[in-house]
Amino acid sequence: MTPHPARPPRARGWFITGLGIGQVCSWGTLYYSFPQIAAAMEAELGWSKTALYGAATLGLLLAGLAAWPVGAAIDRGHGRQVMSLASLAAGALFFLWSRVDSLALYYLAVAGLGLLQAMTLYEPAFAVVARRTGPLEARGGITALTLWGGFASTVFIPLDQLLLDRMGWRDTLLVLGLVNIAVCAVLYAIVIDRRRDAPRAVPEPPPPGDAPARGAAAEAMAKPAFWGLAIAFTAYAATFSAFTFHLYPLLAEQGFDAGSVVAAMAVIGPAQVAGRIAIWVLAPRASVRRIGSGVVVVFPLALGALALLPPVFATAALVAALYGAANGIMTIVRGLAVPEMITRRSYGAINGLLAAPALVSKALAPAAAALLWAATGSYGAVLWAMIVGACLLALAFWLAVALSRREEGPAA
C-alpha cells in the first residue's frame, strides 16, 4: 500500500499553507525583528550598536557552519524534527533574551537565534518541499513559499513597533518567543511528514550516516558550475546584506530627507512579492537558467542608477522597486538552481553547501561596508563596492549557466 496521500493536490495545499504561515512567523521573529529590538535595547541599556550587532553577526557565522549538516539531516527525512525543535529552541532563547542583563547572556541568546535561522528559514523549508514533491517538481511549492515569506516584514515590522510602544522590548520578546512555540513549532510538526514524501526522495534501504550527502557533495563540487553558483550566491548575499543595512544612511548622505528614505524603503517588500508573482504568472515554465540570467542584470543597473541619477524621490523609489523585485525573483532562483544546474541528488545538503559561504558573507558584509565608510569618510566608495559585487554576481551566474549547459548528464 502506498504511504502517500490519496488526495495529493489538497494535501500539498495544506502542506504549503502550513509551511508558508510558519515562514512568515519564522522570518518575522528571527530576522526582521532584530533591528527594532536592538534600537530599544540601545536606548534603555546604553550598550553600543557595535556590541549589539556583533551578536547577530556571530549568529549568522554559526548559521553558515550549520547549513550543510542541516540540509543533510533533512535529506535523511528529519525535516520535522529539525524545524519544529529549532522553533521550540528559538522560543526558549527569546525568553532568555527578554531577561538579559549582561552582554554574555545577550550573546548566548542572539547568537543562538542566528544559528537557528539555518534550521528554520528558506533553505531548510525548500529542502522539505523538495523531499515532498521531488526536486524537479518543487518549483511551484518553492515559489509559493517565497510569496508567503514576502509578507513577513509587512506583518512583523509594524507589529513589533506596536508591541514595543505598548509593552517594552522585554515583553515584546516574550511574545516573539510564544509565536515560535505556539505557531512555528506546531505547524512544522503537523505539516512535515516524511511518510508523504515523494518515493524517489526516500532511499530504500536508508544508507548509514552522512554517506549519501557526502557522495552527492563530492559529485557537486567536482562540477565547475557549482563553483560558479557558489561565487554568484556569495556575492549576492554580501551585496544585498550591505545594501539592506546601509541603505538608510547611504540615502541620507546623498541628500534624501528622512520621509523620502522611509517611503522608498517601504517599496522593497511589495516589490519582492510583485517580482515573485510576475515569475509565477508570466514565466511558469521558463528555465531557472533563463530567469536567473535575466534577473542578475537588474542588480548592477539598480545600484548604478543610485550612483548616477539625481538624488530625488523618484530615483530612490525606482532603485528600491528594481532591487526589491530582483531580490524576490533571485530567492526563487536560489531555491531551484541546484536540481536544474548541479544535481538532483541530496537537494538539502547541496543547497546548504551553497548557502554556507553566502551566510558568512551576509554576516560580514555590513561590518566591511562600515569599515570602508570609516576609511573613506563617504558612502560613495561603499556604493561602488556594492556595484562591483553586483557585477561579480552577474558574471559568475552567467559562467555557471554556460558551464552547466556544457556538462553532460540529467542535471545539465
Q: What is the mean pLDDT of residues 172-179?
A: 97
Based on the domain organization, do 177 and 223 belong to the same domain?
no
Helices (H), 48-78: 49-75
Based on the domain organization, do 249 and 297 belong to the same domain?
yes
The answer to whether residues 176 and 113 touch, using CB atoms and an 8 Å cutoff, is no
Based on the domain organization, do 304 and 248 belong to the same domain?
yes
Our CA angle for 331, 335, 339, nearest 5°, is 150
Cell of 142: 518553492
Taking 50 as the threshold, does the pLDDT of residue 107 lie above it?
Answer: yes
Peptide bond between residue 3 and the one before it cis (omega within 30 degrees of 0): no
- Write out the DSSP string of 71-98: HHHHHTT-HHHHHHHHHHHHHHHHHHHT
Based on the domain organization, do 145 and 236 belong to the same domain?
no
Last residue of a domain, one of 176, 200, 224: 200
- Write out the DSSP string of 208-238: STTHHHHHHHHHHHTSHHHHHHHHHHHHHHH
The answer to whether residues 233 and 286 touch, using CB atoms and an 8 Å cutoff, is no
66 occurs within a structural domain: yes
Give the integer Cα–Cα distance in Å for 229 and 350.
11
382: three-class secondary structure by DSSP? helix
Neighbouring residues of 406: CB distance < 8 A, sequence distance ≥ 6: 412
The answer to whether residues 180 and 29 touch, using CB atoms and an 8 Å cutoff, is yes
The answer to whether residues 106 and 34 touch, using CB atoms and an 8 Å cutoff, is no
Tell me the whole-structure pTM to 2 decimals: 0.77
Helices and strands of the chain, counted as H and E runs? 19, 0
The answer to whether residues 394 and 261 touch, using CB atoms and an 8 Å cutoff, is no
Based on the domain organization, do 355 and 400 belong to the same domain?
yes
Predicted confidence (pLDDT) per residue in 318-371, tens digit: 988 998 899 889 988 888 888 888 887 777 788 788 888 888 898 888 888 888
Last residue of a domain, one of 157, 175, 200: 200
Based on the domain organization, do 52 and 177 belong to the same domain?
yes
209 occurs within a structural domain: no
3 occurs within a structural domain: no
The rounded mean pLDDT for the chain is 85
Based on the domain organization, do 272 and 183 belong to the same domain?
no
298 occurs within a structural domain: yes
Last residue of a domain, one of 178, 200, 222: 200
Q: Which domain holds residue 79?
A: 9-200
Q: What is the mean pLDDT of residues 13-40?
A: 89
350 occurs within a structural domain: yes
Predicted confidence (pLDDT) per residue in 296-325, tens digit: 999 999 999 988 888 788 888 898 899 889
Give the integer Cα–Cα distance in Å for 96 and 3.
41
Question: What CATH number is given to the structural domain containing 303?
Answer: 1.20.1250.20
Taking 90 as the threshold, does the pLDDT of residue 402 lie above it?
Answer: yes
Based on the domain organization, do 344 and 366 belong to the same domain?
yes
Helices 139-149, 268-282: axis angle to 10 degrees equals: 160
Based on the domain organization, do 117 and 249 belong to the same domain?
no
The answer to whether residues 222 and 155 touch, using CB atoms and an 8 Å cutoff, is no
Based on the domain organization, do 156 and 178 belong to the same domain?
yes
Based on the domain organization, do 194 and 225 belong to the same domain?
no
1 occurs within a structural domain: no
Predicted confidence (pLDDT) per residue in 41-84, tens digit: 988 998 887 788 888 889 988 988 898 899 889 988 899 999 99
60 occurs within a structural domain: yes
- Of residues 213 and 51, more confidence is placed in 51
390 occurs within a structural domain: yes
Q: Residue 261: its pLDDT value, please?
A: 73
Based on the domain organization, do 149 and 245 belong to the same domain?
no
Neighbouring residues of 242: CB distance < 8 A, sequence distance ≥ 6: 365, 366, 368, 369, 382, 385, 386, 389
Domain count, the chain: 2
